[in-house]
A and B are shown apart, each in its own frame.
Chain A
């Protein structure tokens, strides 16, 4: 098992490298001159030329790529933002935790609500509970996040004065943003859970459990849900990955300086350093997320655990 984890961690290095090269190349061939954006329209030709030279924009692609890769991966020098001059390392160190926290809370709320909805729908297939749950899921997917965000702010901040409308601080600042962004996740979780559970509920071991006299809710959760978790975990994983990158709208509305805004602003300003390094961090964060998903599989399903441990540990005795 430890070998499996180690192997996956090592794999992150080529992934990060690959993302770095890909993003770097894309930014290179994007039209738009960073020097002009930094210096503004009052700059003279000389100013611009000097700036371009300083940023190394005149060097050939290979040299620039090489410099970037060696700076980032060998010296761990993440550089400064071309536009603001702020240290990228500092900025990411501050912003990534906020985005992560927001995404994690969203994930917990989404699946905390989505999984029970899906279970209820599956257990009462085709009855009114099923239709209600799926209707709720549909509403969840259809609601635009920014609309919901503003509604929540009006209700909880302006009218009820319970939660802050924007900004960062303690955990209460993340509740409304998480609620506004979680509706997609609820829908995804509910649908996948329902589908998974429908499969599982027809299984023979469910009948065995009932025949043992296990109470019905235990049959559903302990015997049923636990077996149906694998596809649900997969959906959670990909959803989390999407959220890491996609919280930009929520971050803007709630004035949370996070990774989403950081990178999008970087793209708009052709701030190469920010976009490149930011993308690498997101890629690594996503890789960890996928690793967590795979480890969760192992935690839930002993057959997968055995597969990971294969080739190293002594084989389990067969009858």
Chain B
């Protein structure tokens, strides 16, 4: 991980974020003390399995968690030094779509079916800038062209577009106001591979143009490799490994991360079987004590089963939440 100078405030700083869900009288700890940092213009990849808490983190930043049943119970999120959790709802709205925007996972349902795509883009422009209606429309048309959709299709409805095109519209909406931070929640998961490449390229181009920072949530290591500067691996609501892309890819330290790489089929060499990680992700309301990964970990020791596991520093300087990293490193070579 790049050495952090304590003097300069990071662009985005998440400190000890904790979020709880309430369902049927049970309390679920979805996010458990997560801390992240992001520099302007850089990309942080957030990797983990479904239900690990990735989307929750993104929604918490924007404070668009559902009112009923979810609650931010602790932590701070600072954007350029300003604590977003301390802002009023009205102030927060000025930030949403403007300074921070989000791209959602499922393009098929992310757009309002009864509003034209052009109007949906124009709406976000209207909310955050001054001007006349024709100004907003013009900007919307610009965005459409920018994402590769002819401007004539302004007046068409989402159901008239394919999945890939819809996602482009979502991207257009997200980038229309030149946000400083883009939260991309598995933007390519629902698309087929060829479209995936197009969309990723598109995002990359636009980001370069506007120098937008991005928090990319994904479970696809290939996408991480292509787009990210830094990587954080999240498991059961906690960050268990955190470093630069090179560090994580070249020297994964946590057994879980190693397991993730191991599960990817190799393009070189013959593989007969896939190597998944043993076991299943833990029940969110019944997390294992100590290290949450220990029931599935081949390196688990007695010490792993109890107490709080803190972040350790690895040999090449990135962070890992495991007390046995030396052992693991030795075995993996």
Q: Give the B-binding residues of A (Cβ under 8 A).
A: 125-126, 203-205, 207-216, 223, 226-227, 300-303, 306, 316-319
Contact = CB atoms under 8 A, between A and B. Distances in A.
Interface stretch (B11-19, B152-160, B220-228, B231-239): B152-160
B71 to A, nearest CB: 16
B113 A227 contact: yes
Contact of B101 (A207, A212, A226, A319): A212
A302 B114 contact: yes
Interface in B238-276: none
A73 B187 CA distance: 62
Interface string B116-157: 000000011001100000000000000000000100010011
A226 B97 contact: no
B162 interface: yes
A205 B113 contact: yes
A208 B170 contact: yes
Nearest to A204: B109
A213 B160 contact: no
Best-surrounded residue of A212, A216, A301 (most CB of chain B within 10 A)? A212
Contact of A213 (B96, B104, B113, B162): B96
Nearest to A300: B114
Contacts of A204: 104, 106, 109-110
Contact of B64 (A211, A318, A319): A211
A212 B114 contact: no
23 contacts: A204-B104, A207-B59, A210-B62, A210-B64, A211-B62, A211-B104, A212-B96, A212-B173, A213-B95, A213-B97, A213-B124, A214-B97, A215-B93, A227-B112, A301-B113, A301-B114, A302-B114, A306-B157, A306-B159, A317-B153, A319-B149, A319-B161, A319-B162
A302 B62 contact: no
A255 to B, nearest CB: 44
A226 B123 contact: no
Given A211-B62, A213-B96, A213-B98, A302 B161 contact: no
A204 B114 CA distance: 14
Contact of A302 (B153, B159, B162): B159
B111 interface: yes
Contacts of B113: 205, 227, 301-303
A212 B111 contact: no
Contacts of A212: 96-97, 101, 123-124, 127, 173
A210 B128 CA distance: 13
B288 to A, nearest CB: 31
A249 B68 CA distance: 44
Contact of A318 (B96, B98, B160): B160
A303 to B, nearest CB: 5
Contacts of B97: 211-214
A319 B109 contact: no
A34 to B, nearest CB: 54
A318 B150 CA distance: 12
Given A212-B123, A213-B98, A203 B109 contact: yes
Contacts of B123: 212, 214
A125 B68 CA distance: 9
Contacts of B98: 213
Contacts of A223: 112, 115
A214 B94 CA distance: 9
A316 B158 CA distance: 12
A265 B71 CA distance: 63
Contacts of B170: 208
A214 B177 CA distance: 14
A226 B114 contact: yes
Nearest to A305: B157
A210 B101 CA distance: 10
B203 interface: no
A209 B113 CA distance: 12
A211 B96 contact: yes
B216 interface: no
B102 interface: yes
B161 to A, nearest CB: 6
B96 A319 contact: no
Given A205-B109, A213-B93, 20 more contacts: A203-B109, A205-B111, A207-B110, A208-B104, A208-B111, A208-B173, A210-B62, A211-B64, A212-B123, A212-B124, A214-B123, A216-B89, A227-B112, A227-B113, A227-B114, A316-B160, A318-B160, A318-B162, A319-B161, A319-B162
B164 interface: yes
A33 B127 CA distance: 72
Nearest to A302: B157
B36 interface: no
Nearest to A227: B114
Nearest to B128: A213
